[in-house]
Each structure stands twice: as structure tokens, then as C-alpha cells.
Structure 1
Amino acid sequence: MSNNGNTILGILAGTTVGVVLGILFAPDKGSVTRQKIADEAATKRDLMAEKATELRDSLGNKISSHKENLDHQVESIVSNASYKAEDVITTLEAKLKDLKAKNKNLQKKA
């Protein structure tokens, strides 16, 4: 994104320098010079609009890609947690069975 910002600043600086030099060294009438400046400004405006559209599309694609990746990671984490929870439940059920057996033995002795 830094490159895009630098590109836009470069375009603005180039346009400004071009306009100033065009005015200073204009061999044409003022009206012709003003028309050239207006045409050049329109061209630069269109170029900047195109770059802004490209930047927006690029960011949209990156965000979409990151969202899909994040969705996949969350899905994977939830799945892993589910398997781990199942393992914990199985272990606790086995421990409970052992405790019930020990309790039954203690009740027989008493």
C-alpha cells in the first residue's frame, strides 16, 4: 500500500510541476494554455481514478482471501477442539467407571 501512496504522490507532484512549467514556458495564447492544462488535469484525474479503482479491487481481493483463510482456520480450530473435548469426555467416563467400581468394592466391605 505504501507503493500506491508513493505513486499517487508522484503523480500529483508531476502534475503540479508540469502545470507550472507549462504556464511559464507557454508559447501559446492564454486560452490555449488553459485548455492544455485542463486537458492534462483531466487525463491525470482519470489516471488517478483508474489507480484508485485498481487499489480498491486489489484490497477487496486481499480481504476476501484473508477472510477465506480465517474461516478455514476457525473451522479447523473448532474441529480440533471438538475432538479434544470428545477425548476428555471419554477419559472422564473411564475415570467415573473406575470410581464407581472402587465405591462398590468399599460398600461391599462395609
Structure 2
Amino acid sequence: MENLEDIKYKRAKEKVKKIRGFYVHLTVFILVNSLLLVNTEIIPRFWNTSIEVKVSWWGIALWALFLAIHGLRVFGVITFLGKDWEERKIQEFMKEEEETYKSNKF
């Protein structure tokens, strides 16, 4: 059986992994959208080209919304279907299983 320190370490490591994932997501969002902005808005105006390439602002807005939700979940603001919910459901199913086993035992 794991001791309390091991459990705390694993939970902290998992939290750090989630935070790192959010920062990677944020970095990719910034880089990709910066390149899109430069290639579709700034360069054509600077060089006076007539290239008609438009950025999908709805796509960027939707991605930004998902990024915000990701951040809110990682930093514990939104807990819907989070770790606490998982733990409660696991305990609930374990209790149901135990009661079923006890009632079917001869």
C-alpha cells in the first residue's frame, strides 16, 4: 500500500503535468495565430500585394474559448467532471459493488 507521501507526490506531479500541458497549448495558440496574422494581414499590406487570404476569426475565437476553458479547468476554477467528481464516482461504484457482493453471498 502506498503511503501518504507517495500519494501526495503523484497528485502534485499530475497537477504539474496538466499545468505544463496548458502552457504548451497557450504557446502553440500564440505562435500559430501570430503567424496567421503576419502572413494574412501584415505582409500583404506591407508589400502591397493583392492576395486575398482571410483569417478565420471564428476559428481563432473558438480556439481561444477552448484555451480559456482548458486554463480554467487546469487552475481549478471549473471543477465540472474534474478529479473530485472522478473520486466520488469511484467510491460510489466501489460501494455498489461491495453491497452487491454482500447481498449475493450465501
Band the TM-score falls in, shorter-chain normalisation: 0.3 to 0.5
TM-score, normalised to structure 1's length?
A: 0.39
TM-score, normalised to structure 2's length?
A: 0.40
